[in-house]
Chain A
Amino acid sequence: METLKLVASYLVMLVFAPPVMLGIITKTKAVVAGRKGPPVLQPLYDTLKLLRKGAVYSTTTTWMFRLGPVVSLAAVLAASSLVPLSGTPLISFNGDAILFVYLLALGRFVTVTAALDTGSSFEGMGASREVAFSSLAEPALILAFASLAYRSGELSLARMFAPHGGPGSAASAVLALGSLFVVLLAENSRIPVDDPNTHLELTMIHEVMVLDHGGPDLAFILHGAGLKLVLMASLLVWLVLPEMPVAGRVGSLVLGLAATAVVIGLVESSMARLRLIRVPQLLVAAICAATFGLILTLR
């Protein structure tokens, strides 16, 4: 019975959390700009609309192009089972943090390969940028994980991200938090790294790689991207948010995710996008922050 409840609440989170979180970001930006904005559930409506559509495939593409969206969504879904999305994770074992990082990398690998498969110069450009920037975002992620693992003496996500005392604990948590937030913005194509709303294919990073996907494929990609945002945001939430007495574990997470979405929306409203050549500087700063965090936990 407990397992059934866990799986059911997991399914609800997997389906609804990504569109709602994206919807809250859009709503925040709209309110700051003095507009009404689309309904919070609009991303879900878009996904449902895309699922009903057919897809068009270019004749230059091969099976790799069709594999991309499916595998990338599957990789993120698998990664989500390691993150405590409904209080406890579905699966948890020592070292699952490393699996988490590799699953995200697998999703990126297939997306990039599918983009290269189209033979389009835009998609090639996007793929090259994605790989260049994630080669800096990944170390930041791993170093932040390392400092948290060292601090807690654990290598599983669920326990690493639990509140924890210890020498330099608070300071290293803050540094890990900062660097993970930058990685979150970079990995999920948010301002200041990327602009999720632009239609200008020459400036895009992530979006340009999926220009040729349509219909259900695009729905998979969009939902997968949203889910990735939810996963990284929920890790941040578990890092800072103690369990709230009234809301319970799931309720705290939901509130925390909503708050993170508002923060992302405010960041996007309050600054311009970086020049593409400056993005590595931001990511290197995230690496430095994570490294300092790691140093602080060393005893």
Chain B
Amino acid sequence: MSPTSRFASIRNGEAVDFSKVPVVSVEEFRSSILKMAATGHRLCALVRDAKKDRTAGGLLAVLADDAGGKLFLAASQPMARYPSLTPDLPQAHLFEREIHEDCGIVPEGHPWLKPVRLVPPDKVAFFKEEGAEIHEVAVGPIHAGIIEPGHFRFQCHGETVHHLEIQLGYQHRGARRLLSAGLDRRSLAVAESICGDTAVAHAWAYCAVWEALSGCAPSLRAEAIRAVLLEAERLANHIGDLGAISNDVGYLPAAAYFGRMRGDFLNMLMLVSGNRYGKGILKPGGAAFDLPDEMRAQMIETVKRSIVQVREVGNMFFGEPSVISRLEGVGVISSKVCDDLGLVGVCARAAGVDRDVRQDHPFGLYRFRYIPVMRLDSGDVFARAMVRFLEAQRSLEFLRGLLGHLPEGKSAVPCGAPAANQIAVSLIEGWRGEVCHIAKTGRDGKYEWYQVFDPSFHNWIGVAMALRGGEISDFPLCNKSFNLSYAGHDL
């Protein structure tokens, strides 16, 4: 019997009646997840299936078959404790910690059952290295730049970092609670604010879940508008990140040019949506406004100009020997670490992992138009910067083609209420990586619960791994090359 037979199989952006999701005993649940993981499936999400806060319930796992483009769902019977998956499947470590914190289900044998968000960070225990020559450096939660709060604790021997522990959870915005509260007119705005720089991807994931639950199929034109926005968001952030990396290595001309070009792409979002972050244009059923021809012509103009400029500035940046020597070999993570810990997005692709939702689980327009996946093998800061540069170029080419031939049709179709007793999963490749939204509806058609996983949730542990054995002075550069979101983690 193949291991997949214990799971309900769906595709990205599809809903399934919850009665079709197998509910098995926790031992069987555990062993079948491990069997699936052994055959190359990735743990996309592990959540608890319970309506209320602080009540124990069953677990629900979403496993992704990235090669086959399928998602597998299975649920366990309710229990109060179970043998932890983490020792056998490290990908589960943060999911299990989160579940334990949310409702007290104990994953027995979890090696690092530390609170994730809710416990005040000053009451949390940290690893501490002993020794006369060891010193501890604590950074944050208040930082020198204007960034979000997060605490980093380094155990150092001279300039060498032996261990970095990252403690987040300073922001308590209640995004998940607000989204679970139901189909509110404010919910879309909440979804867009989960992570301010990934507004389009989260809004799309939110809309895709609703559309899957209500059986609504947006027009091709709406999907095209969404893809334009998503790629513009990717461009703005990738180019902005390249600028920030240039700034951190002290190479100022590239920082200035990339910074200006980031403005071009933000202005492109501004043109379409009326704000620089692409908020308020996606809605369930399509897009809130159409893309008129003159606006499209203006965007094509920007894209054509940017193709030349991005290439020129990028070649200047990557052609500077002092830049390359600063970036290469810093903050290396291997593809094994990426696979073991389930890292996603740019940092996984920079380590040679072939993982891109637009290719593996195509959604919206990406079902019909392919963007080549950009990969490098070295897994260092250079590779993460280079992947951003290459992806920005591919996105520009994609936009040039798409904006020239935008499909005809209405920009939105009416989207009804979600059906009862369904579960839907939506994966979107945001600029950081895989954005995952999961919703389950109850008998009344309202959300029983709504779960959100930003790529930052998966990837923060990657920063800690990249620093291990590295130099503490390389941390800011390394951190910038990941550029993860605190808000996306804290929700």
Contact = CB atoms under 8 A, between A and B. Distances in A.
Interface stretch (B23-31, B130-138, B427-435): B130-138
Contacts of A277: 159, 471
Contacts of B257: 33-34
A272 B473 contact: no
A277 B158 CA distance: 12
20 contacts: A29-B252, A33-B256, A34-B256, A34-B257, A121-B135, A122-B137, A192-B322, A195-B250, A198-B476, A200-B144, A201-B144, A203-B477, A271-B322, A272-B246, A272-B249, A272-B323, A272-B325, A274-B325, A275-B326, A275-B474
Contacts of A124: 135
A243 B136 CA distance: 54
B475 to A, nearest CB: 5
Contacts of A122: 137
Interface in B242-287: 246, 248-253, 255-257, 260
Contacts of B471: 275-277
A128 B137 CA distance: 14
Contacts of A202: 137, 139, 472-473, 475-476
A273 interface: yes
B252 A33 contact: yes
A237 B320 CA distance: 29
Interface of B: 135-139, 144-145, 158-159, 246, 248-253, 255-257, 260, 320, 322-323, 325-326, 330, 471-477
Interface in A194-211: 195, 197-203
The 5 closest A-B pairs by CB, nearest first: A33-B256, A273-B250, A200-B476, A272-B249, A271-B322
Contacts of A200: 144-145, 248, 476
A98 B250 CA distance: 34
Interface of A: 29, 32-35, 121-122, 124-125, 128, 191-192, 195, 197-203, 268-269, 271-278
A272 B139 contact: no
Contacts, number: 88
Contacts of A269: 252-253
Contact of A203 (B320, B322, B473): B473
B322 A272 contact: yes
B251 to A, nearest CB: 4
A269 B254 CA distance: 9
Given A124-B135, A277-B471, A203 B251 contact: no
Nearest to B472: A202
Nearest to B330: A275
A278 B327 CA distance: 13
Given A198-B250, A278-B325, A272 B320 contact: yes
Contacts of B322: 192, 271-274
A198 B248 CA distance: 7
For A32, A35, A275, the residue with the greatest tally of chain B CB atoms inside 10 Å of its CB is: A275
Nearest to B138: A121
Contact of A199 (B144, B473, B475): B144
B144 A271 contact: no
Contacts of A128: 158
Contacts of A278: 325
